[in-house]
Chains A and B, each alone.
Chain A
């Protein structure tokens, strides 16, 4: 059963140095404030996993939290590059960052395998792409029925998955809707699960297209309104497009970035 707790306590208890951690969210419902708490608690040597690492991963990488990034598209959506990610990969600042790089289809299927507790997933993909030769989590498998050679990708089973959702009830059942990304799979693939929510309610009334994650697959729920900013939570907040643009100049320069993080993240109360 999920425990309703504070974000600070949840991160302290669930996220450990050296863990493989997935903060998922496909443009919508990105758990930004949980990422900030991980930075404040100075976790180190994390393997960060996400299909679409954007600003919060740029911040975590720039603050030296990560040693490795497992991903399929790393950019500032609609704006351009992630400068802290590039600086870490290209120049090893503040620490070198290894990458395990996939396509979206490959990453999505890796989570599906993880959620299914299978060792790998099968897809048609990567044929002729340079990606295949650079990752030890991409291989091939021969179909036992047709003899066709298909791509095989290793399961992802994070130590911790963190997502943001619209609502939870007091028993810790969680409800999310809108663009759902790969969050359900990332949750069911993980050993421990932290979910931040916009609102805690007495009862979850049905919503069209909503996913409910039962309390007994969730380790901790924290009430963190606005926890997805500058991303959004459909029905609660809207995407702060201006912030995505503003991040570009902030993140280009190491000193500007470090000062911004000191003021807006390190000194912020959790």
Chain B
């Protein structure tokens, strides 16, 4: 007998990946970061959006990896791509020129206006700043993609009151700051976490809780957010993962583990 969604057992990470994949249902092209965004985009290609064109910053356009890539330049991405172009071209002709509908980013820290830090975190007490890997392609993905999705696990270490460093701009200080800066894409339209979904207020652009995943309370999300979180009047409940979504996601992860543990 097939289990009903209520009877299925799933993790909050699986819910996050499924919600993120659903958010890609209408996109034609997605500029994908490695990690959680890549998981979601590859799940979308197997569920909500089989025609989704995945673009990785290594220059691989239309990649169709069978397993999740460990790095942005895995051979699997090039071998399965419709086109492989040099790095200056991927950023200038494809991203900057507005040919990517969705940019899908992770983050080390996010603030209430969807700005992202992936560079430095101040530790105070005279200690040196914590050094993170840095910007990569994110500043221009955040600027030029038609819209931006962010996926990250929800905690007060990530969702912080003040970013010491703005690597990639969301809505700046809010309201029309993004337009004032001359950023052409619509900016972050959804932040998908393991607890729920945040969306910018249409006027202030402040991230607002609009959906909780099944079993998650508004209080839980507030407690995991480092600023007094705005909450929509009607907070929706995300539909639970379906048996099909879970089966596809788990099969993708299993195949990935097998491929990457097979040695060199």
List residues of A whose CB falls within 8 A of some B CB.
26-28, 51-52, 71-75, 77-78, 81-82, 85-86, 89-91, 101-105, 108-109, 111-112, 123-131, 148-149, 178-182, 184-185, 209, 230, 232, 234, 238-244
Q: Does B264 contact A (CB under 8 A)?
A: yes
Are B59 and A72 neighbours in the complex by a CB distance under 8 Å? no
Q: Does B110 contact A (CB under 8 A)?
A: no
Knowing A123-B92, A241-B260, the reply to whether A90 touches B129 (Cβ < 8 A) is yes
**Which of B34, B86, B131, B184 sits near A89, CB closer than 8 Å?**
B131
Are B169 and A104 neighbours in the complex by a CB distance under 8 Å? no
Q: Is the interface of A mostly helix, strand, loop or mixed?
A: loop
Additional A-B contact list (19), CB under 8 Å, known A101-B134, A104-B137, A179-B78: A26-B72, A26-B87, A28-B78, A78-B34, A81-B132, A101-B119, A103-B140, A105-B139, A124-B144, A125-B140, A127-B143, A127-B181, A129-B167, A130-B165, A149-B182, A180-B59, A180-B87, A239-B70, A241-B260
Expressed in whole angstroms, the Cα–Cα distance for A144 and B252 within the complex equals 51
Min C-beta distance of A155 to chain B, whole Å: 13
**Hey, which chain B residues are within 8 Å of A112, CB to CB?**
88
- Give per-residue flags for B2-13: 1 if the beta carbon is below 8 A from chain A beta carbons, else 0: 000000000000
Knowing A178-B84, A180-B86, A182-B88, the reply to whether A73 touches B136 (Cβ < 8 A) is yes
Are B78 and A178 neighbours in the complex by a CB distance under 8 Å? yes
- Give per-residue flags for B104-136: 1 if the beta carbon is below 8 A from chain A beta carbons, else 0: 000000000000000100000000111111111
Q: Is the interface of B mostly helix, strand, loop or mixed?
A: loop
Are B87 and A108 neighbours in the complex by a CB distance under 8 Å? yes
Expressed in whole angstroms, the Cα–Cα distance for A125 and B184 within the complex equals 11
Are B264 and A72 neighbours in the complex by a CB distance under 8 Å? no
Pairs across A and B, CB under 8 Å, 8 listed: A89-B131, A90-B128, A108-B88, A129-B139, A179-B77, A182-B88, A209-B84, A239-B264
Knowing A26-B73, A109-B92, A209-B84, the reply to whether A74 touches B134 (Cβ < 8 A) is yes
